[in-house]
């Protein structure tokens, strides 16, 4: 038996390229409302969205406040007053659940690992959006389970979130579990909080300016084979 028998996969920007999906969903939403989205709008939205997600991870805002608040902030800065924030947010979220791009041929990797280790998705994304993306991509048929924070009643990286995940993994062993993700504040912090091994997926080779425990660092998902 290998060093690990359970892998917890982050979804957005790890298994799937969220940046590309976000760009397409945002662009399509603006077009639906008769607007054109420039690169400057995407950059601004990404900055706003990241800040809202950080607040959610810290438990300072609810998922509902995040979903509309980010667009309220965006529209305020862009001076948009003639589009319903709620309607736009709903349009965007629907589109986001219909678009996916794999990173590093992630589907083939998960398929190759199937049966060798238990594989579970751990995600903070919106439940309907994430489940639809995972269904369309076929990953839902390869993974052994999907744990969405809003269904678990607590956000990743909280200990409460992981505790609930662990309770649903057959034969769970803390020392045999590895989390793989791109986010230091969500995935690696979560792994630290949960007391499991942490593998930071860092294809852009960013600098880690935190004091978090990182057990492994990879720039391509297929490097995980050597770790397992």
Q: Could you list the active site residues? A: 10
Can you give the three-state secondary structure of the chain, one letter per residue? Answer: CCCCCEEEECCECCCECHHHHHHHHHHHHHHHCCCCCCHHHHHHHHHHHHHHHHHHHCCCCCHHHHHHHHHHHHHHHHCCCCCCHHHHHHHHHHHHCCCCCECCCHHHHHHHHECCEEEEEEECCCHHHHHHHHHHHCHHHHCCEEEEHHHHCCCCCCHHHHHHHHCCCCCCCHHHEEEEECCHHHHHHHHHHHCCEEEEECCCCCCCCCCCCCCEEECCHHHHHHHC
């Amino acid at each position: 038996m290998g060093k690990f028998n359970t892998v917890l996969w982050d979804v957005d920007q790890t298994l799937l390229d969220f940046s590309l999906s976000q760009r397409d969903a945002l662009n399509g939403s603006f077009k639906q409302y008769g607007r054109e989205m420039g690169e400057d709008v995407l950059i601004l939205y990404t900055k706003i969205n990241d800040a809202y997600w950080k607040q959610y991870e810290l438990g300072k805002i609810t998922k509902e406040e995040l979903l509309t608040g980010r667009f309220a902030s965006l529209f305020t800065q862009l001076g948009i007053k003639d589009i319903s924030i709620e309607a736009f947010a709903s349009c965007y979220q629907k589109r986001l659940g219909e678009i996916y791009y794999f990173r590093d041929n992630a589907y083939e990797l998960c398929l190759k690992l199937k049966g060798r280790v238990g594989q579970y998705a751990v995600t903070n994304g919106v439940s309907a959006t994430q489940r639809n993306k995972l269904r369309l991509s076929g990953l839902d048929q390869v993974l052994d389970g999907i744990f969405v924070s809003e269904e678990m009643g607590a956000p990743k990286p909280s200990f409460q979130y992981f505790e609930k995940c662990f309770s649903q993994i057959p034969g769970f062993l803390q020392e045999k579990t590895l989390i793989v993700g791109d986010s230091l504040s969500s995935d690696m912090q979560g792994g630290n909080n949960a007391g499991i091994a942490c593998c930071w997926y860092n294809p852009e080779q960013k600098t880690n300016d935190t004091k978090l425990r990182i057990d492994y660092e990879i720039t391509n998902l297929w490097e995980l084979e050597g770790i397992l």
